[in-house]
Each structure stands twice: as structure tokens, then as C-alpha cells.
Structure 1
Amino acid sequence: MDIGGAGLTCSRVHAVAHGQARVTISGTDRARAAWAAAQRLTGVVYGRGTGVGANKGVPVEQGGRALLRSHACGAGPLVEPERARAMLVVRLNQLLAGGSGVDPGVLPVLAQAINDGFTPPVHSYGAIGTGDLTALATTGLCLLGELDWHHHPTTGTSPPVPAHGTTSPPRYALGDGDALPFISSGAATLGDAALACHRLRLLLEAAVDGAARSFTAVDASAEPLAAAVQEARPHPGQAVVAARLRALLPRGPSPRVQDPYGYRAFAQVHGAAMDALDRAETVIETDLNSASENPLIAGSLAWHNGNFHAAPVALALDTLRAALVQVAQLSTARLATLMNPEFTGLLPFLADRPGGSGALILEYVAQDALAELRHLATPVTTGTAVISLGAEDHAGFATQAARHALRCVEPLEVVLACEHTAAARALHGPKPDTPLTTDLETARQALHGR
């Protein structure tokens, strides 16, 4: 996969992160131009001849390594290798977009790390949506040889192992002037966001197939999905979802005039979620391919700016996580109808005999997962932070928004799997000799592997 500062998508980040693609560098002209311009800069340039944060006015000489050592201080468990690899490919692409002034000699070394299975030991906590300083400072120290890379010779190796004894761990002697430009990025946050959006898109698309099974199992009306209904209220996601679901359903009248909202409002709710996902991907992919550097080296000047602030990402992901809750709520509503003989014509709870519990427990499982989604949907954009003696007086917490979006994948998958399991049972009958947990796990695996 060519990485050249443009064209990086959430799905491409996911492919590289999970070892499904190797990277090659296609074009370093912009990175080299920014580096050459940085060598010619005169006057005060933040982070190159000064301290950082509240120390922005303090002259500093040869402070690059000290900056990396002071900032490589995350906490909590290490992130999974896929997340660390996603961060590396995002930062590589950003550097190739130009504007950082970082020595371009580091670019093939980052590509080597990605392709050879090396990841920095990045801890979970240490960023607030204004740059992933701890994660990238840790990466810088790995490049310098002061911290050990972790090595994953096989995709998904767990737990990670320190890279002692492995051949040629990635090394590059970052200069003092490279330290701040290298770490001035939200690459880890964007990596998490990209991974989340890719997985959530697969689940939301699979949810339409699952809803079609539920529609069929209870003989729900397709009338709310009609093209005339969508044209009367032309939201793009709603129209696409309705058309896709309409194509999956059998023709013919329904015995009911008005179905519950889980069916009647499916296109409206699910379409809104798809619109929110489209918006989130647009925002994230804009930043994946941007030179969000501070200072930005453009032309012959250093432009001090706030492009590092990830407010657009946080806002988009807050909206997306709220939309996922509504998707899951309607899925649990359809699950409830599948347990109800008034809708299915079968025994209560899809039991195989009178008085049996059947698939009742799926409602407990789904509601547990839904509660987790509600918790994860709490907006991060209502909070802020004032740090560094007041020099940094706002934070968007996009890091937390991305982390929570990634955590939403599992509970959403569980909710949808419960509906899929119940719909299959309603359509094809129960399997008396098969534990219900087997059917649920099969449904989860199908969703996970989609």
C-alpha cells in the first residue's frame, strides 16, 4: 500500500494495523521541502529553540532528547499492537504531507517498523485531544534506542514481547530540532478513530441484514420503506437504508397497519447513524491527510497555529456514539417483539416447548450491552482542561472520544448478535440440543468477520 501524504482512509489504516497490507512510501518531496525550509529558519521558532507550553519564551539549546524523555510518560496498560501500528501509519502519512520540518530520513525507518512488526510500548493514558505527546515521545525514544520496541512477528501476537534479540530494530537518530515536530500530532487518536469507524461501518451494514430477518420473522410491513416515503423527507442515509432493506424483504401485504418503532422507524434511526458515520469518516480522513503541525513549515516561514486541536474529531465522534445507542435501542425493541407470540405466532421466548425459557436470556445480554453503549455515549466535548500554567487553556478530549468509539464495537456487536440469533430461531426453529450460547457466539463471529 502506497503512503504518500494523501489518500489514506479509515479502511486502509485498519488494513495496515491488522497486518493485511504492507506500506511503501510514494514521494517524499513535500517532507523534504519542509525539512529544507526548517534548516533555513531564523528567529524564534517554538520548540526548535524554545521550551514548550508555558516555557515557550525560554530559550533552549539542544533540548530535543530531554523533551522526549520528559514527555514519554504515559500510564495504564499498553495499547494493543494494532492500535500502536495504526498510530505509526497515520504519523508516517502526516509527515509525508509536509509541514513538520522533521528530517525525512526517519520516514523509511517508520515504514520498516510498520512492515516488520515493531510497535512502541504506548500506554493507554496521556493525551487530552491536543496532541498524542506521550505516545509519540515514546516512539521517538524507541527510534533513538533508549526504549525497547515491542515485536509482533505474527499479526495479533499477544502479549507483546520486547524486541531483544530480534534483527535490526528500527533506529534513527532524531536531531534536537526534530523532537517537538515529531511528537506534535494526534496520530494515536486518529488511529483509534479510524479503526473504530471501519469496524462500526461493517456492523451498521450488517445490522440492515439482521433487521431484514426480523422484519421477515414477524411479517412486518415494508410500507414505511417505500420510495415515496423517503422522497418526502430526503435525508441521504435514510433513503439508502430504506432502499437496501426494501430489496431484502419479500413482497406482499402485512397483517398490521402500524408496526412498532423498531420496524416503522428503522430507516430514520439507522439512516441517521449512517449519516453520522459518514460525517465522522470525512472529518477523520481530512485529518489523516493533513499537515496539522505546530509550527507549520510552509514556504520559508514557520506558522504558529492551533491545527493540532482535535475539536472537529471529538464533535463528530460524540454524535456517532450517540447515534449508535439509538441503533442498539431499536435492535433491542425488535428483539422484544421476537420474544412475543403476538408477533411471531410461536411460543413465548421462541421456546421449543410450553413453559420453556427459550431465548429469553438474550434480552438480558442485549440490555447489558446497551447499558454499556449508553455509558460510552457520554459526550466528551462538554469538558475541558487548563494546564501548563494556563498557557494551554482548552482541550477537546478527542482522544477519549476515539477510545470510547473503539470500545463501542464490542457491545454493539453483542446487541446485534442477540437480534440475529433470535431472528434465526424464529425463522428456522430452535435447536433443542444446542446451547443458546453457541448460536449467539456463531452470530457474533459472523458479525466480527464481516
Structure 2
Amino acid sequence: MRILYLHQHYSGPQGATATRSHAMATALTRQGHHVTLLCGRYAGAVTGLIGGYNRGQREGLLRGIRLVELDIPYDNAMGLAARAAAFARYAVRASRLALSQRWDLVIASSTPLTVAIPALLAQRMRGTPFLFEIRDPWPELPAALSGLPGPVLAGMGRLADAACRRAGAVIALSEGMAQTALARGAEPGRVHVVPNGCDLELFGPHVAPWRPAEAAPWEALAVYAGAHGRANGLDQLLDAAGLLQARDERRLRLLLVGDGAEKPRLMARAGEMGLANVSFLDPMPKRQLAALLAGCQIGVQCLAPVPEFAEWTAPNKLMDYLAAGLPVVSTLHGRAGRLLAEGPCGIAPPPGDAATVAEGLAASLAWLAGHPAQRAAMGRAARDQAVRRWDRRLQAARFAEIVRLAAARPATETALVPA
């Protein structure tokens, strides 16, 4: 099949951000499909393409994928207007490509939700079936964060309704996300859950460990690797670090790796608090991150205290921690809490107000720092769960099968012009 894969935030293995779309596109090419993947310039991503842009794009054949990169920059520190402009520009360019050629299937991977626009246009104008992937449920999560005006959320809701109802298949990363698709009118038989998976070759006990220079030999390292945005709630980690320092807990150092709009403020706050047990590190390529995780003793999963996050999120960093064999301390309950209970391979402190959460995080981190044998047992359980349940190769095979089913289903509405 000739497949157009739309993911604005794509990165190859050399980048510092998620590589799910790379893994899925690679699996499709290995099955003999011809995949064209259209992306933009996402901060932290590395596509592998070199050279300048010609008429706003550059392209090449990399690892069997025809990759087209648009000169549309985007990063998580952008303001709302700049983000919206980047999403709109990508949707326009993607629509042109979707309508200019004959495709057997369009894959629209959200976020941003605007990626559904070219898929819907291609279906309506050329009868091209499409698969809609929900990596984060929009507008449900923005509404929970109260970050967008009501009319914008209403418009996003109508777009999400159309995408869910008209897609040949909907892939959600969690059961909670799948429920949002069903609530928007998706046919139950077309909704599938394909969660984030573990890259067992990149992360694991076979990787040589690396520790930053500021880490003392006696310190257990607890690492948070991910975005530093409002949704991540990283003030909770600083509060916990403050409690640990006040109690003269010297066995643990907290590493915050990544970037985002909140990072300058968080660094300033850590300085004001005098936190000597916190280090901020720049985003790093996945292979370097794998070495860092191999040199750490604890993985930290953190999101803002928004109830909807419990079932509506599927952070890839959790999969990286499990693959690396790290016990995890998480502020998330729901799906993430259930994963950690298996084994067990981590601790999810009780929810509550800011003081309760900070106390729970501090207590959990201190316990793991002071109990190396139990910590190691949890780490082994984490790696075992990664191998048994979350091997990305198995997820990719399932994804490819759903792609085949979606392409075989007729469009729900007659095309306006012949394909």
C-alpha cells in the first residue's frame, strides 16, 4: 500500500523526543508498504535529513521511509498564538500533499488535533480511508487544564467528533483515551488500544552506565526525563526535594532532564530554595538518555494533579524507565499506578493536596534510596514487565494489522470527486 503518515512531531532514533511514529512507520515498510511520513521541525527531534530547505521542505529516503520535513518550527515553549500558527501551516501543507496524490491510506497521528483536517479532506474529496491515532485526547486534556477559550475548545470538539466518527480505525494509547473516542461517536469495532511500548534494544541492563559529574558516588540518582511544562507539575518534585534537604537526606539526587516553557522558572525557584540535591540537565539524544538511565537508580513520573490525567495519558518516559529496569515513583494513579503495582515495580504515593503529594514523593524517594536490595528487586520486576508486556515490536505488529484493516474498510461517505 501507499501510505501517507502525518505526524507533525516526528523524530528518528537520534532525537531527544518520542520515536513511536518512527517505530510504527518502520514496521510498515518492513511489511512491504510504501510510507511517506510528513513532519515539521520539532524541537528536540532529529529527522536525519541534511541540507537546506527548498520551497519550505526537504526530503529523503531514510531507513526505508520517504521522509518529508517541512520548515515549520515548533517547540513546547511557544506561546498559544505561535503554536496555533504552526499547527495551521502544517495542516495546510499536509492537505495539499494528501490531495495531490493517490494514497491507499492516510494515518493522522494527534497531537496536534489539526492533523485530522488533511485526513478528513482526503476522505471527502478522494475517498481515501484514514486511521486516526489519539496520542493525547484533545480537546479533553486542554479543557481539563483550562488553558484554552471556550469557542476554541468547541471547534476542537467538532473536529475530534468528525475524526472519530469517520476514521476507518481509531488507535488510542490507553483504555481511557479509547473511551473518549467512543464518547465522540466512534464505532466500537473500529476502536483499538495500542499502548506505548518499550525499546528493549535501546534501554536495558546491557547499556553502559553514565552519571553526570555533579553526582556524588554515594548518591542514588532519581531521574525525571521529559517536558518541563505546566501539565508536568514539576513544582511537586522541587517541593519533595526541599523536604528531603530539610531532613538532611544526603543519599539521593534528583535529576530533571529536558526542556519546556516552565524550565527557566523551575531553575530559578530551585535556586531560591537553595536546593543542592537537584540538577537540571539539557535534553539529550535517546542513546545518551539510555546511558543516563543505566546510571540511575530510580525513575520519576510526574504530572500536574489533574484527575483526568489518571486514564487519559500514556507517557512514553514510563516505558523507558521500565525498559531500563528502574523502579518508578509516580504521581499518577489510574493506569500508571496499576502498572507499578504489578511486580511491584514502583510506588505511587497517595493523592491529595500539594503538601500531601510532596510528602509522599519525599517519603517514597527516601525509602528507595535507603533500601537498595528492595530497589533492585523492583528494577528487575520493571524490566521483566517490559519484556513480557510492552515490547515495542509487538505493539508495532499490532499497529500494522490495524492499518491493514483500516485500509480495507470503505469510507463512510461517498467521495465528491473520483479517486
TM class by smaller structure: under 0.3
Structure 2 length normalisation: TM-score? 0.27
- More helix by percentage: 1
